[in-house]
Amino acid sequence: MSKETWNFELRDRQQVLVIATKNKGKSAEIKSALRDFPVLIKDLNDFGPIPDPVEDGQTFEENAYKKASFTARVLGLPALADDSGLEVKVLSGAPGVRSARYSGPLATDLENNAKLLRELRGKVNRKARFCCVLSLAVPSGPALTYEASCEGVILDAPRGDKGFGYDPLFLYPPLGKTFAEMSMEQKLSVSHRGLALRELANEFEKVLQWLLKRLAEERRRQGREEMCVK
């Protein structure tokens, strides 16, 4: 089925997909990677205050599923969550799933980067990788998962002013640039998130069919439950 056919089928329904994040950097990258698809993409900044899911999983996959299923349930809409982070070899994989909160529960990117540089002071091995797991969930729970990683090294001082998070410290050796020195398109062409999104985009046709089928099942189930209550 071509994208034009989906457009036709979805024109009246305008299937909404919520990106389960308030992080504007992440959201912009995901929206850009999925811009050609016939879904109306929103993120959590488009809704009123909703509670934050508890991110207490031990893996990116667990946390991605928690965020996607929680958001889908609370908003009653399909949700796409990204759980991602930086794993540094000599720090035994830290900051890992705690990347956003590395230097404290309300840490800023600057504080996290400063802590990373402190922890790596004097260390010769600067190998690191970014990991990303995407989870796409419907309100009743089932989800699809995509994951990817990107290898690089941590510099001893920031370079570049684009991107977010650890981007200014993460050098991608094949291009000789940090992620913060790349345009969003260039970063997406090599990054963990870009690669995972490409996998999702490559089979978007299948994904959309899966989504529509699950949502129709949910509607039928709700209809049956309402009839039982009456």
Catalytic residues: 83
- Cβ proximity to ligand IMP, 112 vs 135, nearer residue: 112
Binding residues among 9-28 for ligand IMP as defined by CB under 6 A: 23
51/71 Cα distance (integer angstroms): 9
The distance of closest approach from Cβ of residue 208 to ligand IMP in the complex, given in angstroms and rounded to an integer, is 25
- Options 17, 19, 88, 193; binder of ligand IMP; rule CB under 6 A: 193
Q: Which stretch binds ligand IMP (CB under 6 A): 33-41, 134-142, 163-171, 215-223?
A: 163-171
Q: Tell me, rounded to whole angstroms, the distance of Cα 105 from its chain centroid.
A: 20
25/33 Cα distance (integer angstroms): 13
Residues 155, 178: contact at Cβ < 8 Å? Answer: yes
The distance of closest approach from Cβ of residue 222 to ligand IMP in the complex, given in angstroms and rounded to an integer, is 31
191/134 Cα distance (integer angstroms): 13
* 194 is a site residue for ligand IMP (CB under 6 A): no
- Cβ proximity to ligand IMP, 68 vs 86, nearer residue: 86
For 95-126, give the secondary structure using H, E and C.
EHHHHHHCCCCCCCHHHHHHHHHHHHCCCCCC
* 166 is a site residue for ligand IMP (CB under 6 A): yes
140/163 Cα distance (integer angstroms): 34
Task: Count the residues of the shown chain that bind ligand IMP, applying the rule CB under 6 A.
Answer: 18
- Cβ proximity to ligand IMP, 71 vs 208, nearer residue: 71
The distance of closest approach from Cβ of residue 214 to ligand IMP in the complex, given in angstroms and rounded to an integer, is 24
Binding residues among 74-133 for ligand IMP as defined by CB under 6 A: 83-86, 99-100, 112, 130
Match 């305008």 to its residue by tokens: 14
* 165 is a site residue for ligand IMP (CB under 6 A): yes
144/54 Cα distance (integer angstroms): 20
Q: Tell me, rounded to whole angstroms, the distance of Cα 45 from its chain centroid.
A: 15
- Cβ proximity to ligand IMP, 6 vs 166, nearer residue: 166
The distance of closest approach from Cβ of residue 41 to ligand IMP in the complex, given in angstroms and rounded to an integer, is 17
Binding residues among 139-158 for ligand IMP as defined by CB under 6 A: none
Q: What is the dihedral of CA 33, 140, 142, 60, to 10 degrees?
A: 60
Q: Which of 229, 218, 195, 202 is nearest to 3 (CA)?
A: 202
The distance of closest approach from Cβ of residue 227 to ligand IMP in the complex, given in angstroms and rounded to an integer, is 41
Which residues of this chain interact with ligand IMP, rule CB under 6 A?
A: 23, 55, 83-86, 99-100, 112, 130, 163-167, 179, 191, 193
